[in-house]
Amino acid sequence: MTESGFLSRRAFLAGTGATGAAALAGCIGETGGSGDDGSAETTEGGQSVSGGITITGSSTVYPVSVAMAEEFEKANSEVDISVDPTGTGGGFENHFCPGNSDINGASRPITDAEEENCNENGVDPRQFQVASDALTVVVNKDATWVDSITFEELAQIWRPDGAQQWSDVRDDWPDKPLELYGPASTSGTFDWFTENVVGEAGSHRSDYEATEDDNNIVAGVEGSPNAMGYLGFAYYQENSDRVKAVSVAEGDASNAVEPTLENAKSGDYPMARPLFVYPAAGSIQEKDQVYEFLKFYIEQSETDIVTEIGYVPASADLRDDNLETLEEIRNE
């Protein structure tokens, strides 16, 4: 090794050391300076807002929030929105209640324990229903025998020790084994279906093909003429050429309603699961960007942005109620 090589490496070391130290210092300076992302600059009309918005929560609400954020960003590029599907419960527990998130999406109402947890940390969650998800029962395209089904029949199939054969449910259905596909037990879709269709919570059968990815339900049902599954309408809409949707009746089979977004919006379709967002009251009052975003979110929750995703938009009444509530919270 020559002397010059030595010197240059020493110089290199010194250089990297200095740069590293400087960069580290820069980081610290940067963090210290802008640690509070709630500082928003408001102009007169409140039109131009900036700052960060953190959205966590249910992976079912996630696509709606992403779409809303995308549209909101087009007009308000100064606002940094991050959306993360942490799950409803994970979002409340790890992010929202500790005060690290402004809005938590939820595919079920908040539990008392969660609300308590939030309040202990000085976070006040407020509920807004922004859309609903029309759960859809799908069967194979070749399953010509079934066009409609009632809640009671669904319960017969999906409860523990439920029906093994199609003919166990209705006499004119064939003597073929039921192959069942559904969402994994940790999903909100599963919860809602269990609670509202099958019966009391926790009484869903466990011997079915459970999957976290609804595409898998489509693939499974498409693959076998004896299969049945339930999933969110969005996945059915995306794959309506591959599987057949079944009309559902809450009571008598003759009242069965076809799963369409119109039917769900009008309230006729019985398997529409409400989707919520829970903003923190503090965030709405202190952060203009959160308030503006929520206003936008609620206004748009009645439009095609929601329909395109395959969810059921809020009705005009619900939207107006929500806007009113939002103003009340803002002015508290």
Partner 1 sequence: MSEEPARPAFAGENRTRSAKESAIKWFLFVCAALSVFVTLAIVATLLFDAIEFFTRVSPLAFFTGTNWSPKIGEAFGVLPLVTNTLAVTALSALVAIPVGTASAAYLSEYASDQVRSVLKPALEVLAGIPTVVYGLFALVYVTPALQAVGIPVGTFNLLSASIMVGVMIIPMVSSLSEDAMSAVPDSLRQGAYGLGATKFEVTTTVVVPAAVSGIFSSFILALSRAIGETMIVVVAAGMSPQLVPSPFGSIQPMTSAMVQLATSDLAGGTAAYYALFAIGLTLFVITFSMNVASNWVASRYREEYE
Partner 2 sequence: MATERSTRDGSWYGDGEGVNQLRGQLFKWGCLGAMLFGIVMVFVLLAYVAIDAIRPLTADPGWHLTFFLTLVAPTSALLGYYGLRDRRSGLVGAIATALPAFCLLVGAGISLLLVDVFRPIEWFGTAVALVVAVGVVYVHRRLRTEPAAFERPIVTVGALVLAVVGVPGVVPSLSQLFRNAPIALNPATMLLYSFAVPVAILTGLAIARRRESRRDGLIAAALTVVGGVLAVIAAPAVGIDDYLLIVLSLSIAAPTAVYVEGVVRERDHLVGLALPIVAYVGTFLGAALVEAYGFAGPEAWLDWQFLTSAHSRFPQEAGIYPALVGSIMMMLVIVVSAFPVGVAAAVYLEEYAPDSGTVGRVVGLIEMNIANLAGVPSVVYGLLGLALFIRYADMNTGSVIVGGLTVGLLILPIVIISSQEAIRAVPNSMRQASYGMGATKWQTVRNVVLPESIPGILTGTILAFGRAIGETAPLLMIGAAAVVFSPPGSFAEKFSAMPRQIFAWSHEPSAEFRYGVLAAGVVTLLVVLLSMNAAAILIRNRYQRRS
Binding site residues, partner 1, CB under 8 A:
10, 14, 17-18, 58-60, 85-90, 92-94, 97, 107-108, 111, 113-114, 117, 184-188, 190-191, 202, 204, 206, 209-213, 215-216, 219-220
- Distance between the two ends of the chain, CA-based, in angstroms? 74
185 binds partner 2 (CB under 8 A): no
Q: Candidates 40, 49, 54, 273: give the one binding partner 2 (CB under 8 A).
A: 54
CA distance 162 to 160: 5
279 binds partner 2 (CB under 8 A): no
82 binds partner 2 (CB under 8 A): yes
Binding window for partner 2 (CB under 8 A); candidates: 12-20, 155-163, 164-172, 177-185 = 12-20
Backbone dihedral region for residue 259 (phi beyond 0: left; psi -120 to 50: alpha; all else: beta): beta
Q: Which does 316 bind (CB under 5 to 8 A by kind): partner 2, partner 1, none?
A: none
CA distance 50 to 80: 7
25 binds partner 2 (CB under 8 A): yes
Kindly list the distances between the CA atom of residue 96 and the CA atoms of 68, 116, 249, 307, in Å, as whole numbers in the listed order. 19, 12, 37, 27
Q: Candidates 49, 61, 67, 271: give the one binding partner 2 (CB under 8 A).
A: 67
CA distance 204 to 75: 45
CA distance 230 to 134: 10
- Residue closer to partner 2, measured from CB, 166 or 236: 236
Q: Which does 4 bind (CB under 5 to 8 A by kind): partner 1, partner 2, none?
A: partner 2
184 binds partner 2 (CB under 8 A): no
Q: Which does 75 bind (CB under 5 to 8 A by kind): partner 1, partner 2, none?
A: none
Indicate the helix (H) or strand (E) that contains 193.
helix 188-193
Binding window for partner 2 (CB under 8 A); candidates: 60-68, 111-119, 280-288, 292-300 = 60-68
Kindly list the distances between the CA atom of residue 213 and the CA atoms of 55, 76, 186, in Å, as whole numbers in the listed order. 22, 33, 12
Kindly list the distances between the CA atom of residue 241 and the CA atoms of 218, 230, 236, 237, in Å, as whole numbers in the listed order. 10, 16, 9, 9
What's the full length of the chain, in residues? 332
CA distance 300 to 294: 10
What's phi and psi for 10, nearest 5 deg? -65, -40
- Which parts of 219-238 interact with partner 2 (CB under 8 A)? 234-235, 238
CB of 34 to partner 2, least distance (A): 4
Rg (CA), the chain: 25
Give the pair of three-digit tokens for residue 319: 């939207």
Q: Which does 260 bind (CB under 5 to 8 A by kind): partner 1, partner 2, none?
A: none
Q: Which residues bind partner 2 (CB under 8 A)?
A: 1, 4, 6, 8-10, 12-13, 18, 20-35, 37, 52, 54, 56, 59, 62-63, 66-67, 69-70, 73, 77, 80-86, 94-95, 98, 100-101, 213-215, 234-235, 238, 308-310
